[in-house]
Chain A
């Protein structure tokens, strides 16, 4: 294995793989955290945190020039309506409509030299959510549309579940680029398919009906195994969809019989005051749900929050609707993780698929803009109170040293102890790196 600078992580994973190989199928996975602890102990060094990931994806494209990277000195057609305010970290400013967030700049880093070259929603989404730009034949409307696996799928495949909760969860729905691609059904997300802000929120169908108590469920499950002649048959094994469905059925039974999973999704157990602080809206309650899930052992939660595509009336939409939600939801999540001591082991990444055009358009809106974007990162080994890079005076592009989605992917995986240069093999046997030629952005680290 190359790269001794990753030694603690690599050896931990080596051990994990060996461990999993020696154990019967299934057991290896459920024992993974135990094995990790042992591996770390065997290393003798300080225990590295077992980091989880929350991705808050602001679909449509957060206007970073109006929020996290303001240009007050740019000509008026660029600077927009908003003013910057100072934060609790001298020298860092954010938008005046993020007053709560401004008090916690010590908890996050801003990556301002971020850029990529695709300003179309579908391909840019795929690039940002997988680290790979899509190739020829990409169809954004397919669900899932992944040519490469989403971060959560890589994490699920590489690290497996912690206990009985699923390793990768999508909230409140799955983004079209949230799929597992060639990593297969085992690495696909568990999708909540419900809004945690709904009055009687429950994950649909997670629990059998009351009329089916657990002994009867057990009977049914045994019966199903004898009735379904295709279950393990050669014809279903030779068919990707049928094989996946079989895998999903096993996963479904694991979920149904896991008290941890049920408890994790039971958002009603949270105190009302805290729920109010997060904000009684989809973004706020999704952030709260994400924290609950991570706490219960989920490794990656992706929140798909939409409507950031502000081509029209950008400033009013941001000021009156979107930013107040982001401000309560994100800020409370930062505080909550911090108060619970979870920040060191929870990497939080907030991003849209691109920035927005620095020049305000004729409809008082801003359009798609890949060449500049600002990413907010927090926890999981990321240094707080930090700004990395800068855009030029009009926010059109990084002033120097641009970094892109592959670098961000490599960094996120590195924080989780996954070497982005490792390879997966597609079912056809083609090797593909976890993140293509990405550079780990060590300048973000503590």
Chain B
């Protein structure tokens, strides 16, 4: 356990920070390391300060005698041994003064290293380029964000393009507009740009850029240089890379990041101080504007984004619990999924819960696969089974149930927007029926996607084509399909480069171009979808023709021949497609485990990485290898121990809802809960516009008026977002189940289950109680529960039927009933 000892050392080290002292003296720091630091490494190994704009932040990493590494950048004392050649500032950044080769001394943890520093090209005037030197400053200090000058109408008369998507206009706004009063070339320090930003005169946005900062100096020098736009030949940034890429941090531990930009001419430069940083989980770790990451008190993992000129990269940190895990045999590994889950749990020092009981399993798997509770008989039979393979055999049985297609058609109708308002009654039903039939016959999801995306002809014969009537313009078609089939939200890139991902406007219009030829034509036999043309679009800003091409590829020379949607469909289901299979896998996972490997499940971003990337890859490959068989995928996940864990907590996983260390309680979907109430009371619900006896999970129209379904968060399907389905509890829901006449009528109905139970001849109290528990909770009561119920029946003996109803009522209102667990 190397890392354990190291972490103990760091914990001590970090306590210096928590009391607010400055970095400790070298000797003290050294004393806190056990085992001691054996060696320092510096990155970059050869430090070069090239030109006046060059600023380098060396990363100093310690390696202890047990070969563990730790970031010492924040603790090191840096000293220029050649002060005439270069300086070191308070943030540990090196800046050149004069050409030559000098030495840098670094001291930390009792170790001293001296490395050479080459300084060159200091005599050359700084060559500014607006895009490379000025825009990053406007972005870093949020000047061009949508809450400020980046807003469509600007802010107090000064408007910048949001996220700097239009640098030419921004340059114009700074140097020309308002009669050039934002810049004062004669007295640069009096420029509004500098006085407003640095707080010299009042600024609605407050003091943004300190006078002593690097950025102030760059803006100042740029004004002195005459505010050039810069030469068209100036190299462009093509990529950024964060170092390190990944680390394990102790709670309250720190890590300095180093960010390098690679330019189109192959040159790399340190842009650590220019990048914009953001943490995706501030409870686990936060980051400051200089790229210093500080872990908090919550175990878990976190992605820190570094963004620069439209390019992004992430640093991932894992922050384990402080206390070591007492070595114990964890729950078993049932398939490849569990290995991936365990390796992360081990790193986080979290112990998984034990396996769930058969009673937990039967209820869970019925609800998850067919959105339906097991009946008392089904539960009893399963609990009586001695078959060692009973769990997986049950899964196979459930796949054959009609409710399987009902339930999954409901889910996919949300994501693919079966919308009666947009489609009319007949259209919406046909569209729904196509989804339903696909799941009933277990159509491969590749085939399903192809029919959806590229179907042509009469809508009555190709009902999947109704999708293109729900969303009407090509942009909405591509963004809806991106979200539901790829799990990617590309809408941002319609107007500007996606601020948290790598998608540009060309990516957006490349996707949009697939759908520019979609047309509908009336025929005597109904409407016909035609899409044999199109494939071309235009970037509204650059004016460039954009030919249909998938996300993450470059603009081709020509549009695909024929229906461009066919090439989109083929790309989608190709074995090497990076998104589609992963999206389906992630949706299935999120449904079964209560949380996606990517969460939210339809927001895949470079800056929102999966919690278990290798698992997602392995599951996707397996899914593709098995011909996109959705049932196979579900069964694979269900066969894992991870799915079959109990909801009981262990001392180490109470705070963990991210890493699948226990079964997470999930409130039943609105429709599932309503059906469960109807099934247990044996009094069905009546819905407008559907045949009598229809269950809520069979409703293809999410707009059928129904109070219960409304307050329990049924989606209206106005977007493809999974978040439309609200699972959050509220008082109205509780009151409804407690008090509503509708529920009370189901409990007291003459033809209902409880009346029938009360009339059943020869039924003992024990049998009656068993029957209630099996019906509502799919399990037998514990001894104590049985005693409690018997006591209630006895004290209420004068009105036995009411007592039975009261027992059933309290079961309906239990968390155990309302949640899947």
A interface vs B, CB < 8 Å? Answer: 117-119, 133, 136-137, 139, 141-144, 166, 174, 179, 185, 188, 190-191, 193, 204-209, 211-212, 216, 219-220, 223-224, 226-231, 234-236, 238-242, 244-246, 248-249, 251-253, 255-256, 369-371, 397, 402, 426, 428-430
Contact = CB atoms under 8 A, between A and B. Distances in A.
Contacts of B148: 117
Contacts of B813: 224, 228, 249
Given A118-B146, A212-B744, A248-B729, A206 B735 contact: yes
Given A230-B819, A244-B728, 16 more contacts: A118-B146, A119-B152, A119-B153, A193-B711, A193-B732, A204-B740, A219-B806, A224-B809, A226-B788, A227-B789, A229-B785, A230-B816, A230-B821, A241-B727, A252-B735, A255-B731
A193 B734 CA distance: 13
A227 B732 contact: no
A246 B748 CA distance: 26
A369 B282 CA distance: 33
10 nearest A-B pairs in the assembled complex, by CB-CB distance: A428-B283, A228-B814, A230-B815, A224-B810, A205-B735, A245-B729, A205-B739, A239-B665, A227-B810, A209-B744
A118 B148 CA distance: 9
B527 to A, nearest CB: 29
Contact of B810 (A137, A228, A402, A430): A228
Contacts of A208: 738-739
Contacts of B734: 245, 248-249, 251-252
Nearest to A428: B283
Nearest to B776: A227
A247 to B, nearest CB: 9
B654 interface: yes
Contact of A205 (B726, B736, B796): B736
25 contacts: A139-B721, A185-B729, A191-B730, A205-B738, A206-B739, A208-B738, A208-B739, A219-B806, A227-B807, A227-B810, A230-B665, A234-B648, A234-B649, A235-B648, A238-B662, A241-B727, A241-B729, A248-B729, A248-B731, A249-B738, A255-B735, A428-B283, A428-B298, A429-B283, A429-B298
Contacts of A429: 283, 296-298
B282 A224 contact: no
B741 interface: yes
A143 B713 contact: yes
B639 interface: no
A188 B816 contact: no
Contacts of B807: 223, 227
Contacts of B657: 238-240
B657 to A, nearest CB: 8
Interface string B718-730: 1101011011111
B151 A231 contact: no
Contacts of B282: 428, 430
B818 interface: yes
Interface in B801-817: 802, 806-807, 809-811, 813-816
Contacts of B191: none
B99 to A, nearest CB: 44
Interface string B198-239: 000000100000000000000000000000000000000000
A230 B811 CA distance: 11
A188 B731 contact: yes
Interface string B771-789: 0000000000000010011
Contact of B155 (A117, A136, A223): A117
B796 A219 contact: yes
Contacts of A249: 734, 738, 813
Contacts of A234: 648-649, 654
Task: Give the secondary structure class of A's interface.
Answer: loop
Interface residues of B, number: 71
Contacts, number: 184
Q: Which of A205, A228, A236, A238 has the most CB of B within 10 A?
A: A205
B744 A245 contact: no
A241 B667 contact: yes
B601 to A, nearest CB: 13
A142 B814 contact: no
Interface in B77-111: none
Given A119-B151, A230-B815, A223 B806 contact: yes
Given A209-B739, A223-B807, A242-B815, A141 B728 contact: no
B815 A231 contact: yes
Given A136-B500, A241-B729, A245-B729, A428 B821 contact: no
A429 B730 CA distance: 24
A241 B741 CA distance: 26
Contact of B147 (A133, A188, A219, A226): A133
B539 interface: no
Contacts of A139: 721, 723
Contacts of B814: 224, 227-231
B740 A205 contact: yes
B792 interface: yes
B649 A235 contact: yes
Contacts of A204: 707, 732, 735-736, 740
A227 B147 contact: no
A115 to B, nearest CB: 10
B278 interface: yes
B739 A207 contact: yes
Contacts of B664: 239
B74 interface: no
B647 interface: yes
Contacts of A219: 792, 796, 806
B730 A188 contact: yes
Contacts of B649: 234-235, 238
Contacts of B730: 174, 188, 191, 248
A238 B821 CA distance: 12
Given A119-B153, A141-B721, A228-B816, A251 B731 contact: yes
Nearest to B663: A235
Contacts of B739: 205-209, 256
A298 B443 CA distance: 55
Contact of B802 (A141, A216, A235): A216
A117 B806 contact: no
B738 A118 contact: no
A417 to B, nearest CB: 26
